[in-house]
């Protein structure tokens, strides 16, 4: 697609046929392997259901939980079982047998506690009190939790142990998180096409600049850790080949009032201003939080588009000026009825009034490279987008001692969009003939999303169970009208005017279980089933398309702990990508006289299978990943040798296989230089189902990233930053992508006991993040050069007042559906 930019080249055919057979074999046996594992877990339960358990809680000085400590159960100098304590210091060891044991609690290799126990039946040790200076070892506890740790289904980055994050915000913390990249207002996960952000296990209902502004308003000092979930479990929606990032904040302060005021100004070709205000209140059982943000300014991207037709060359330059005008807000309230029940709600809104002014010039040359004609297009695109979302939730603690609880959510979202695209075109031929054309293209979209879900956490003595259900109802009404204004009067064109109605209902069930198989080995198995019914109706074209499908999405996680700082894991899951609602609408939307985009009501969802092996060792992380995508869709710019018309349309037309090796390393030299670095090497293969139109392509690629923070003074008040990314040539979907690199520099400091924070950032210092996307369609090569006006300088001030406390974000049940609004 011209706007989305991407491309394509030849494929290594000999290697592909063998690997393709392996993929088919793997896909065929996927469900059988999962069912065998589930059966094995059940048989093990029946064999061990009579075993006993040992539990307890490790605390510092009676009141501070000792999280992520290593609890070992030993017999005759052999380690029988190893467990990590939870956030509240608790631990449980299941499937034990009777006998005499030695219980040892360690952290960072330091023995903090030991005692002999006689296990004759189920035993609760209660609170294990560990003082700051233990007579057992006569050492003072000064160690920290490991910077990088591993849980069953996620990588844990302990932000509170990072010097670079002190005095910064959540965005700064994400920059140094393994496997995460923050570039030019975009947060991405290596090896994943998409990524979603959660706050305390609650998905954040924001995208683009709104999401970045929200994350910037979270002080790094309020963050305990960041969790990276590359392959989500059955608990989460199966939608999207995407990972999850969960930002976990520290415990909230009671009876507090606080907030922050943010202002920022950035300069590239134009200016962009951002303002934000947050206010939070907590009193007894009532918690209220709110945030308001406003953005206004311009960006000026540039594109150059070249088509190599057999008989002529088409060169097109696109100069655009995008005006930003966005107001957003979020308001939440929660009330604790008693010790076991909490109820709350959330309202979020966004009012976006973007405006785009586009100047498009096309130059057509004949075989002799002589200019044949010139086409000048001018367009003005006005939009009005509004989103209003409501959430109501209830949390019921069934058993506070064991952690059994029920979460219930009900959500409603309404999205409205209106677009007025007025454009004209002048065509000047070499014989001085001139053609003029003008039109108005109107589009209106109204989407209603209603969802409800229930999640149950039900730990038992032999397995920790999670299960739940979700219902989704979606109504999408859209229409497009096209008026020819060439004569000076508006004349409707019925062939390019359309009304489209789309309905989607989905019912989902899931169950997952986590079990400690041995002292060092833990397994989690999950299965999610989704039943979907869709109906697409084009009233103007009198076309109705109905789809019904039920799909299963298994997940498997294995974790083996050699020691506290050396853990090996393996995981697998299956995902689905459903088309956005606009992609299903068959209407045409014109960008120039010769170029239009249209949806495809027959577009099918595509599925992906993901495998990952990883190892964490001290401050390093390594992973091998494999990803196979079946029947993937992408936007194709259809061109013909004998026609100047360019049609952009999404199609299911290829399978894709990716595999890669990632290595990340973090170091801190004497609290002066803190550095987070990663290298990623990967291979991508695209097998086209229409090779006569779009050929197969494959490529080896890689990337190098380094993020560095330098403490200018001993106290760390003044910090300098130097970040660099280099991306080798690669594939982006069905397109080839050229190499690019980017250097960023920054400075930040704070005043008045960290209440006032100042930062200065220069992005893309040498203006080198320039990309060229290439695709071949019908043997016609298309090249799209793109520079998104990235180089800029940014100043920001944040003032924190009152007593800050954690902003609780609700896990809205319709996040998956809202992400498909594009």
**Chain segment 525-549, per-residue pLDDT in tens:** 999 999 999 998 888 778 888 889 9
Calpha distance 765→184 (Å, rounded): 12
For the segment 56-74, what is each residue's pLDDT rounded down to a tens digit? 888 887 677 887 788 888 8
Task: Give pLDDT, residue 480.
Answer: 86
Task: Give pLDDT, residue 803.
Answer: 66
Q: Does 49 have pLDDT greater than 50?
A: no
Q: Does 41 have pLDDT greater than 50?
A: no
Reported as a pLDDT band with limits 50, 70 and 90, residue 11 is very low
For the segment 369-413, what is each residue's pLDDT rounded down to a tens digit? 999 999 999 999 999 999 999 999 999 988 877 788 999 999 999
Task: Give pLDDT, residue 805.
Answer: 44
Residues composing the chain: 822
What is the pLDDT averaged over residues 124-140?
Answer: 60
Calpha distance 469→237 (Å, rounded): 11
What is the pLDDT averaged over residues 412-432?
Answer: 90
Reported as a pLDDT band with limits 50, 70 and 90, residue 51 is low
Task: Give pLDDT, residue 815.
Answer: 57
Task: Give pLDDT, residue 736.
Answer: 95
128: number of Cβ within 10 Å: 20
Q: What is the largest CA-CA distance in the chain?
A: 101
The tokens describing 57, both together, are: 């809680």
Give the CA count within 13 Å in the CB-facing half-sphere of 171: 17
Q: Does 501 have pLDDT greater than 60?
A: yes
116: number of Cβ within 10 Å: 8
Mean pLDDT of all residues belonging to the chain: 83
Reported as a pLDDT band with limits 50, 70 and 90, residue 251 is low
Calpha distance 705→701 (Å, rounded): 14
CA 18 to chain centre: 32
455: number of Cβ within 10 Å: 19
The tokens describing 448, both together, are: 């209603």
For the segment 571-601, what is each residue's pLDDT rounded down to a tens digit? 999 999 888 877 887 777 777 778 888 888 8
686: number of Cβ within 10 Å: 28
Task: Give the long-range contacts of residues 138-147, CB within 8 A, separation 24 or more.
Answer: 139/110, 141/60, 141/107, 141/110, 141/112, 143/107, 143/108, 143/110, 144/108, 145/67, 145/68, 145/107, 146/68, 146/108, 146/564, 146/565, 146/618, 147/619, 147/666
Task: Give pLDDT, residue 132.
Answer: 52
Q: Does 172 have pLDDT greater than 80?
A: no
Reported as a pLDDT band with limits 50, 70 and 90, residue 499 is confident
247 DSSP β-pair partners: 199, 226
Calpha distance 587→231 (Å, rounded): 36
The tokens describing 414, both together, are: 């309404």
Reported as a pLDDT band with limits 50, 70 and 90, residue 5 is very low
* E strands in 301-354: 302-308, 312-336, 341-352
Q: Does 212 have pLDDT greater than 80?
A: no
| Residue 672: partners with Cβ closer than 8 Å, 6 or more residues away | 710, 711
Task: Give pLDDT, residue 108.
Answer: 65
Alpha-helical segments (H) within 356-451:
none
CA torsion sign for 394, 409, 208, 631 is: positive
What is the pLDDT averaged over residues 8-16?
Answer: 37
Task: Give pLDDT, residue 223.
Answer: 82
For the segment 732-742, what is each residue's pLDDT rounded down to a tens digit? 889 999 999 99
Q: Does 183 have pLDDT greater than 90?
A: no
Task: Give pLDDT, residue 525.
Answer: 95
Pairing of strands 341-352, 371-399: antiparallel
Which is more confident, 214 or 246?
246
* Least reliable range by pLDDT among 10-19, 244-253, 681-690, 810-819: 10-19
Nearest Cα residue to 351 out of 324, 332, 381, 322: 324
Which is more confident, 21 or 657?
657
Task: Give pLDDT, residue 203.
Answer: 73
Task: Give pLDDT, residue 13.
Answer: 38
Q: Does 522 have pLDDT greater than 80?
A: yes
Pairing of strands 223-229, 242-249: antiparallel
Task: Give pLDDT, residue 27.
Answer: 44
What is the pLDDT averaged over residues 98-111?
Answer: 80
Q: Does 819 have pLDDT greater than 60?
A: no
* Cβ proximity of 488 and 512 under 8 Å: no
Q: Does 724 have pLDDT greater than 70?
A: yes
For the segment 628-669, what is each residue's pLDDT rounded down to a tens digit? 999 999 989 899 888 888 899 999 999 999 999 999 998 888
Reported as a pLDDT band with limits 50, 70 and 90, residue 814 is low
Calpha distance 38→80 (Å, rounded): 25
Of 82-91, 217-226, 279-288, where does the model show the most confidence?
279-288
SS3 102: strand
| Residue 270: partners with Cβ closer than 8 Å, 6 or more residues away | 297, 298, 299, 300, 321
Task: Give pLDDT, residue 6.
Answer: 35
Q: Calculate what percentage of the chain has a pLDDT beyond 70.
A: 86
Q: Does 558 have pLDDT greater than 90?
A: yes
What is the pLDDT averaged over residues 170-193?
Answer: 79
For the segment 340-366, what is each residue's pLDDT rounded down to a tens digit? 899 999 898 889 999 999 999 999 999
């Amino acid at each position: 697609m011209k706007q989305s930019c991407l491309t394509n080249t030849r494929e290594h055919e000999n290697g592909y046929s063998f690997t393709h057979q392996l993929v088919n074999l793997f896909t065929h046996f996927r469900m059988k392997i999962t069912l065998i594992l589930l059966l094995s877990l059940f048989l093990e339960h029946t064999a061990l259901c009579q075993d006993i358990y040992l539990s307890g809680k490790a605390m510092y000085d009676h009141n501070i939980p000792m999280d992520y400590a290593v609890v070992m159960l030993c017999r005759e100098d052999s380690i029988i079982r190893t467990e990590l304590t939870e956030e509240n210091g608790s631990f449980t060891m299941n499937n034990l047998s009777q006998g005499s044991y030695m219980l040892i609690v360690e952290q960072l290799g330091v023995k903090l506690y030991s005692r002999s126990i006689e296990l004759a039946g189920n035993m609760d040790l209660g609170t294990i009190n560990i003082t700051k200076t233990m007579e057992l070892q006569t050492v003072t506890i000064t160690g920290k939790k490991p910077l990088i740790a591993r849980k069953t289904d996620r990588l844990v980055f302990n932000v509170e142990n990072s010097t670079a994050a002190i005095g910064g915000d959540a965005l700064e913390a994400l920059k140094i998180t393994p496997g995460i990249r923050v570039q030019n207002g975009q947060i991405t996960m290596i090896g994943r096409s998409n990524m979603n952000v959660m706050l305390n296990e609650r998905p954040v209902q924001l995208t683009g600049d709104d999401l970045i502004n929200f994350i910037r308003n979270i002080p790094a000092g309020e963050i305990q850790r960041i969790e990276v979930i590359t392959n989500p479990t059955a608990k989460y929606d199966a939608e999207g080949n995407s990972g999850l990032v969960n930002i976990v904040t520290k415990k909230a302060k009671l009876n507090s009032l606080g907030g922050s005021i943010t202002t920022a100004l950035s300069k590239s070709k134009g200016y962009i201003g951002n303002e934000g205000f947050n206010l939070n209140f907590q009193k007894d059982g009532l918690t209220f939080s709110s945030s308001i943000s406003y953005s206004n300014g311009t960006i000026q991207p540039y594109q150059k588009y070249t088509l190599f037709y057999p008989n002529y060359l088409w060169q097109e330059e696109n100069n655009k000026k995008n005006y930003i005008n966005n107001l957003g807000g979020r308001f939440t309230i929660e009330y604790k009825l008693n010790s076991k029940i909490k109820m709350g709600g959330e309202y979020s809104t966004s009012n976006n009034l973007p405006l785009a002014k586009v100047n498009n010039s096309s130059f057509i040359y004949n075989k002799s490279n002589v200019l044949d004609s010139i086409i000048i297009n001018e367009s003005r695109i006005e939009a009005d987008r509004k989103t209003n979302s409501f959430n109501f939730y209830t949390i019921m603690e069934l058993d506070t001692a064991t952690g059994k609880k029920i979460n219930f959510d009900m959500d409603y979202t309404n999205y409205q969009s209106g677009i007025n695209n007025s454009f004209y075109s002048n065509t000047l031929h070499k014989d001085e003939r001139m053609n003029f054309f003008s039109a108005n293209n109107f589009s209106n979209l109204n989407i209603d999303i209603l969802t409800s879900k229930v999640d149950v956490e039900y730990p038992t003595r032999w397995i920790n169970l999670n299960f739940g259900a979700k219902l989704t109802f979606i109504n999408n009404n859209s229409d497009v009208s096209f008026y020819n204004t060439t004569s000076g009067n508006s004349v409707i064109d019925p062939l390019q005017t359309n009304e489209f109605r789309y309905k989607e209902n989905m019912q989902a069930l899931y169950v997952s279980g986590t079990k400690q198989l041995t002292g060092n080995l833990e397994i989690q198995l999950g299965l999610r089933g989704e039943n979907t019914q869709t109906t697409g109706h084009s009233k103007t074209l009198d076309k109705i398309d109905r789809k019904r499908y039920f799909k299963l999405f298994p997940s498997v996680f294995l974790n083996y702990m050699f020691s506290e700082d050396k853990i090996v894991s393996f995981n697998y899951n299956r995902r689905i990508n459903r088309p956005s609602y606009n992609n299903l609408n068959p209407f045409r939307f014109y960008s120039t006289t010769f170029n239009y985009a249209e949806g495809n009501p027959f577009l099918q969802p595509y599925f992906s299978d993901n495998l990952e092996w990883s190892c964490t060792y001290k401050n390093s992380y390594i992973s091998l990943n494999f990803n196979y995508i079946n029947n993937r869709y992408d936007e194709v710019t259809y061109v013909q040798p004998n026609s100047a018309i360019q049609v952009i349309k999404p199609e299911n037309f290829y399978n894709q296989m990716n595999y890669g090796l990632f290595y990340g390393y973090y170091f801190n030299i004497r609290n002066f230089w803190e550095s987070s670095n990663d290298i990623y090497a990967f291979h991508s293969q695209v097998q086209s189902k229409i090779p006569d139109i779009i050929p197969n392509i494959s490529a080896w690629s890689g990337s190098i990233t380094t993020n560095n923070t330098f403490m200018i003074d001993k106290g760390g008040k003044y910090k300098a930053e130097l970040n660099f990314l280099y991306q080798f040539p690669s594939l982006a979907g069905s397109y080839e992508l050229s190499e690019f690199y980017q250097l960023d520099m920054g400075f930040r400091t704070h005043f008045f006991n960290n209440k006032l924070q100042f930062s200065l950032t220069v992005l893309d210092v040498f203006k080198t993040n320039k990309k060229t996307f290439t695709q071949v369609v019908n043997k016609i090569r298309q090249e799209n050069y793109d520079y998104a006006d990235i180089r800029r300088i940014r100043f920001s001030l944040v003032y924190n007042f009152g007593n800050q406390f954690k902003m609780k974000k609700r896990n809205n049940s319709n996040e998956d559906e809202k992400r498909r609004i594009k």
